[in-house]
Each structure stands twice: as structure tokens, then as C-alpha cells.
Structure 1
Amino acid sequence: MGMLVDGTWQDTWYDTTSTGGAFKRTEAAFRNWITADGSAGPSGEDGFKAESGRYHLYVSYACPWAHRTLIFRALKGLEDHIDVSVVHPDMLDDGWTFETDAHGATGDRLYGLPFARDIYLKAKPAMTGRVTVPILWDKSRETIVSNESSEIIRMFNAAFDGITGNTADFWPADLRDAIEPVNARIYDTLNNGVYKSGFATTQEAYDAAVHPLFDTLDWIEDRLASTRYLMGDRVTEADWRLFTTLVRFDPVYHLHFKCNRRRIVDYPNLWAYTRELYQWPGVSGTVNFDHIVRHYHYSHDSINPHRIVPINPVLDWEAPHGRG
């Protein structure tokens, strides 16, 4: 993954030398919000009003952060209101591209541009920063609303309810204080923990990441023994933020990122829970295992220099989950 420096592309990987071999994720550069009336959100500028057809979502099927936004687009009935472009699964010297020679890769449906970085440059010609997905684009102002997935899913959760009539709430007010520490632990040790394990370049950095990761999986397994979902009997954003890591764990993270103490299929509660979320109406259609497996193994030559894509175990995602 390269980056833009003053509007110029540089094929530069993350610097782990200065961090003792540890992977440090950079913060999102665009933090505006879509709101029902166009008023300001918690950060950024105002003026981004929820309107049908105004916004476009750029995603990768491989990326768990982008996957969150696709799930919420489906859960909240936004498919007819927010259109999507899907990048190619291979992320090489030019970063995310809009090549179309992989099934499911759509090209840039708005402008026909060749690279995801061109979308960033269209919004900010002197951009410095990583070129990541998802990208939520405003066609009206021709700029990026946000590239922070955790905030995009909260916009999708509520901002368009008056347009769609879909009032399903995955960020309920009465559970927010309880959700936040769960999100925080899962993000640090699991969502990002798989990357901290996989991209570590010293034994010490790997050990510091991988042990908390499995402590958290054990903690979730125990939690799910007495509750159907993370927050009890209601599915919330905490579940969907967790799901995008779990669905990739056995096909990718277990082998490729050396997160191999156990697989998700080795945890009875977690495996049944992951299957239930996969089978949720509209969700399986957002999962593309071909892109997931291809992207990680083919794109990370520092981990897999010969770019050999493994055959992987065959998992029955449609098996009854029994969590009724």
C-alpha cells in the first residue's frame, strides 16, 4: 500500500523500523458526516444532507473496514439510494485500482478513473496520506465526505431513515455506553489485532499483538455462551464490526497473518454466531471470498513473496447455526 505526498504517489509501505517492528494504523483523513437535514455532525463540515442518489461508495470486497459499510447499506435498505464502485482485489504498486479483470470489480462507475488515489486527488489535489477504502463520495459537491468506516456506518444507521422508512437501529441510545468499551477492545485487539500480528516485523511486536488477540476471542466465546449477541438479545453495530473480522479469520488471518492458535471453527459459540450473522438477510451477498483470499495472499509480498494463493478449507456457511 502506497501513499500520496503533496499530491504525488509514492509506493511506500508502513514504517515499522521506528516502532520496534509494530504496525501502527494511520487515522482517516476525511471525517465529515451526512445528516438528515445537512447540519454538522460530530466532526468536519456541515452541508452533507441525506438525499437519494447524491452519494457514491467506493469499496473493496476484501477490506473488512469497507465491508462494514456494505453491510449497513444492505441492512438499512440503501442499495437504491447509494451506488457503489468496487476496486480490484490486487493492491500492488499503484495501490487500489479500478481494473475490471476480476469478477465483481466494477471499475470507477462515476468518473472512469484508473486508481483510487485519483478520487482522493479529485477531492484534495495536494493530498498527503494513505489511500484507503471505504470512500464515501458526494456527487453534488464532488468531494469526499468520509473515509472512516466506523462513522460511515453510523451515518447509514440513521441519516437516511426518512427517505427509506427503514428504522432498524443498530446504535440504540440505551446501549451506547455499553457498546463503546466492547467496540474499543475488539477494535484494538482483534479488528486491528490481526493486522498488528500479521504485519509485525519483530518477534516481540508479534507476541505483543497475538496473545491479546486470542484473549479477546476467548472472552467473546465465553460472552456468547450466555447471550445471543454481544449486547444481549439485540444485534448492534458491535456485532457487525466484529463479523467482518470473523468471516475473514479462517480463510486469511489464521494462516496468512500467523493468528494460528485456533480457528473460528474451533470455538463452538463463535462459529455458530458467525454463521448466524452471515445468514442474516442481505449479508451473505456482501461477502466475496474470492476477493478476500486473493487480495491478502497476492497483495502482501512482504508476507507471501511468491504470491501463492492457498486452496483453503471448505466451510459450510449455510449450516444451521442453532442460535434461536
Structure 2
Amino acid sequence: MRANEVPTEEIRRDPAAFADRVTADGRLDRRAEAGRYRLVVNRACPWAHRVVITRRLMGLERAVSLAVTDPRQEIIGGEPHWVFTEETGSPGGLDPVLGIHALREAYLARDPGYTGGVSVPGLVDVESGHLVSNDYDRLALDMATEWGGLVRDGAPDLYPEPLREEIDAVGAEVYRDLNNGVYRAGFAPDQEHYDAAVGAVFDRLDALEERLSGQRYLVGDTVTMADVRLFPTLVRFDPVYHGHFKCNVRKLSEYPALWAYARDLFQTPGFGDTVEFDHIRVHYYWVHTGINPTRVVARGPDPRGWLAPHDRAALGGTPFGTGTAPGPVPAGERVPAPA
């Protein structure tokens, strides 16, 4: 979708253009090796965010370097593209490791004839400069389960086998109605599509409120991929989805259990320390000129509310089970704290 257009049909997401699997033993497509890959993301993108959270929870920061693009996309060849700029720490507008200005260059290095869209996250092979995968869900799952000895000691089991069916079932509902539902509402081509989409968004939020009133996490007694998939949408809800995407029946902060659950995760290492609210607000309000032609960026809401006590520990469970919290955020990856 072009940055300055609203789609004339209901939004649908294309399957990943490149989806090589990375595993510890290389039995599928590629082998997990420290220093071999660079993860290109934008901190505004919820799909990239779940991979960033997984990478941090699993302690893969030293194994897989991180490249952050500018929240303002650049129009190249008539299409919006994720690019590196001086403002986001890339001297000369080039990523210091890959030497590229736009992520599309890694796509074209992999396939010179590629004409499809470019999305984040993108896992790039450092030596060849080729894109390995832009399959956000598979990237996160593989980092959680397939990277073997490269993960940190004490890393949590985000995808425990006994709970996988439930995790995936919950994730499918959340994706359909909420993760993607907010986009279906925001880019609805007419009233009928908007009403259906926004109705599904709040039906799902209502169901999550009921579910989380009696349990600390979505599935089981610890953080799992179900929580990793939900959190990026929740943390963007009041800043951009409520106003910018017209999902304004209620705010997240008006759901007692869901808002406390979101704060609990935000205050858990690996979640809130990967959130950059300025990038989120700037990207959505700047790029989507079809629904915000003035590019005026909303100021609120006050992010300090995310640090308020949540009292969720009384429901039982611990975030990492028998594991431990990840260590400090690497110096080059720290995001501003709510202030």
C-alpha cells in the first residue's frame, strides 16, 4: 500500500515473500550462527515488535544484531520504503553493517527481479546481504524454539509443547479480530466494512478482558508466545489505534483487567524496554497521509501511566517460570523510558 493512499478494498496481508527457516542444526534452510544475521526492524511496526521482544527474551542480542529504520518511510519509485537515516543513528543514511539505505536493497540482492512489497522485520544474511526472511511469525517462533545453544541461560519456554495448540488458537483469534482488525477498521473503504471491523475489535477486547480477569497470562502460568503476539497491539492501542484508526469505542485504559495485564507485561524485562512511543506516534501519523493528510502527530497519551502498579501478581504465575529475566538492554538498543 502506498503511503498516501487508503485502499479501496478491505485490507488483506500478503504471505511472506521470503521465509527461509533458521535452525540450530541447519536441517531446513539455514544454520543459526552468531554474527551471521542482522534483524532489520522499525520500532513502530507491531509485526516487527514481536520478533524484537522474542529476541530479547531469549537473549539473542549478541547473536543477532539489530538495525532500526526511520519511522518516516521514504518514497522510492513511487512506493514507501523503510530506510536508514542520520536521525536514527545511521551515518550517511546507510546501515553501518549492511551498507544499505533501504531494506528493499536486501530484497533485490536476494532476488533482482522482485517487484513485491517490502516489510519489516527482515532477517538479512550479513555476508551476502541477502534477505533471509520477512515472515514475522515464523521468525519469532524459530528464535523461541530453534536457536539452540545461542539462547541465554535461563531463557523462558515461550512455546511449550503441551500448550501449543491453545497458544495458536488464541493467537489466531487475536490476529483476526485485533492485531489485523485495527488495520481493517483504520483503512476501511466504507462504513459497512468499518462497522464490522471495529465491532470485531471490541468484541475481542471484551473477551480478553473476561479471560484476563481470572488469570495473569493468556495461556498458562508464564509468558508465552500468546502474550508476545498480543502485547504489540495493546501498547499501540491508545496512542494510535484509538484515534488514528477510529477504534474509539473504548480506550485500553478503560478495561481494568486488560489494562493491568498490559502494564504487567510492560514492566516485565523484554517488553516495555523495547517500546519507543515516539517512533510509534510519528510513523502512524506521518506515513498514513490518506487518513491524516496534514501529518500532524498527536502528542498523547501520557506514557507514564504504563508505570503505575498493576497488582497482577496476586493472580499467581511468574513471567519466566523456572527461567530468569533477560539482562540489561545493550547500550546501543536502549529506548527512552516513559517520562
The amino acid across from 1:97 in the alignment is: V
Conserved 8 A contact 1:68-1:240: yes
Conserved 8 A contact 1:92-1:299: no
Q: Deviations over 1:173-227 (max 9, x none)?
A: 0001111111111001100001111011211111121101100000000000111
Deviation at 1:107, TM superposition (A): 4.6
Q: How many residues align?
A: 306
Distance 2:89 2:278 in 1: 9
Q: Does 1:271 align with 2:253?
A: no
Q: Give the 5 Å matches for 1:72-221.
A: 72-94=54-76, 95-102=81-88, 107-166=94-153, 167-221=155-209
Deviation at 1:234, TM superposition (A): 1.9
Distance of aligned partners of 1:263 and 1:281 in 2 relative to their CA distance in 1, 3 Å threshold: same
Which region of structure 1 is more displaced relative to structure 2, 230-239 or 186-195? 230-239
Q: Give the 5 Å matches for 1:286-297.
A: 286-297=274-285
Conserved 8 A contact 2:23-2:32: yes
Higher relative contact order (CA 8 A, sep 6+): 2
Deviation at 1:36, TM superposition (A): 1.0
* Aligned equivalent of 2:247: 259
Conserved 8 A contact 2:4-2:287: no
TM-score by length of 1: 0.90
Deviation at 1:110, TM superposition (A): 2.2
* Aligned equivalent of 1:229: 217
Say what the alpha-carbon RMSD is for the aligned residues.
Answer: 1.9
**1:93 alignment partner, SS class:** strand
Q: Percent identity at matched positions?
A: 46
TM-score by length of 2: 0.86
Q: Does 1:54 align with 2:36?
A: yes
Deviation at 1:257, TM superposition (A): 0.2
Distance 2:16 2:297 in 1: 30
Deviation at 1:141, TM superposition (A): 4.8
Q: Deviations over 1:147-169 (max 9, x none)?
A: 01111111110222312343421
- The answer for unaligned runs of 5 or more in structure 1 is 3-10, 41-45
The amino acid across from 2:181 in the alignment is: G
Distance 1:243 1:29 in 2: 25
Deviation at 1:96, TM superposition (A): 1.3
